[in-house]
Amino acid sequence: MATVKDRAPGPAGSGLNDDIGENKRLELYRTQVVIREAEQRAFDLFLQNLVKGTSHLSLGQEAVAAGFAGAMKKGDLSFCTYRGHAHTLARGVSVEKVLGELMQRDNGLMRGKGGSMHLTSVEHGVMGSYAIIGAHLPIACGAAWRAQYKGAKDVSVCFFGDGTTNIGAFHEALNFAAVWKLPVIFVCENNLYMEYTPIADVTAVEHPAADRASAYGLERIVIDGNDADAVYRTAMTAYDKARAGKGPSLIECMTYRHSGHSRADPAKYRPEGELDRWKLRDPIKIYRERLLQFGVAEKVIAAIDTDVRKVVDDATEACKAAPNPPLDIITTDVYADGGWAWRN
């Protein structure tokens, strides 16, 4: 079993945990803050009736997206669930593009046609957010098989929730990836709840992803998903393994969502005090303290916070001022040829 935990951080120059470095740590912190501020703004805009339908936020889970994206190389591919805002932002898509899409404005990532659950940016390696549970795991295998066949070095990373581990596609994809030694990484964001149901109540093993890894000849890996350094280090190891032709990894990140499953969910099913306990392990709080322990000046951290808030504020105003998408694009890009007519 591999369980990755960050050792006790020490001051800069102490030789402890210096493998990541200050520049990368500041990048990881900024990414987490961008996700937190943008998602909180999406929540606020929903309450103002400016985000239609529902949305699934990653408040509290920012370290997973930041850690894996921070370890990626250009050309690596991300496959997300409907809870994909965080991973899209982490790959470098602008806040304006994401909020514009959620608000169904013409300046959105897909000109307002995709909405919250279907963010895609091939330019940034974001190969779609998938609303069908488990549907993207075999697709990620396909992308990885393409890389293997062509001798390319990109790695496909597939993010999913704990509930997906009880879906057939999870087991099919793992088996296929293991047999073919595909350059794909499966990342389970275990936030303890599969929609409204505690995953522990309906699963025979404690860790629904990691405890099944051995069935496919894979290492059992459980990590602290609220510690971006632990996530980053684990991701680097998995990327190196995949690029070396040694096959897939299955990583279970223990984390917790601060809000309900979606905006329609008040999360009343959670035991009293559980949220408060997890907020003590807030990933941004953890990382801010880590930066201070490494000697990063408070003013440097505050400057990142201030700059990100301005970016989100400016993006919000730009999206409010942006027009709705024109009706003449409603039937475009339905099929691969760019049109809408069915062909066989």
Strand duo 156-161 + 77-81: pairing:
parallel
The residue count of the chain comes to 344
User: What radius of gyration, in Å, describes the C-alpha atoms of the chain?
Assistant: 20
Contacting residues for 244 by C-beta, under 8 A, at least 6 apart: none
Name the nearest CA neighbour of 174 among 146, 134, 207, 204: 134
**For residues 264 and 322, what is the distance between their CA atoms, to the nearest angstrom?**
26
Q: Which H or E run includes 194?
A: strand 193-194
pLDDT value of position 3: 46
List, as one string, the DSSP characters of 254-306: E---SS-SSTT---TTSPTTHHHHHHTT-HHHHHHHHHHHTT--HHHHHHHHH
**For residues 193 and 207, what is the distance between their CA atoms, to the nearest angstrom?**
12
pLDDT tens digits along 140-166? 999 999 999 999 999 999 999 999 999
pLDDT tens digits along 58-79? 999 999 999 999 999 999 999 9
- Arithmetic mean of pLDDT over the chain: 92
Q: How is the chain split into domains, by residue range?
A: 2-323
- Give mean pLDDT, residues 290-314: 97
- Cβ proximity of 95 and 85 under 8 Å: no
Name the nearest CA neighbour of 154 among 68, 72, 35, 209: 72
DSSP annotation of 233: H
pLDDT tens digits along 80-133? 999 999 999 999 999 999 999 999 999 999 999 999 999 999 999 999 999 999
Residue with tokens 């549970």: 133
Contacting residues for 319 by C-beta, under 8 A, at least 6 apart: 96, 99, 100, 103, 105, 107, 108
Backbone φ and ψ for 30, nearest 5 degrees, come out as: -60, -45
pLDDT value of position 17: 52
pLDDT tens digits along 310-344? 999 999 999 999 999 999 998 888 888 888 888 76
- Cβ proximity of 179 and 145 under 8 Å: no
Which residue(s) pair with 3 in the sheet? 222
The topology (CATH level 3) of 2-323 is Rossmann fold (3.40.50)
How many other CB atoms are there within 10 angstroms of residue 211's CB atom? 17
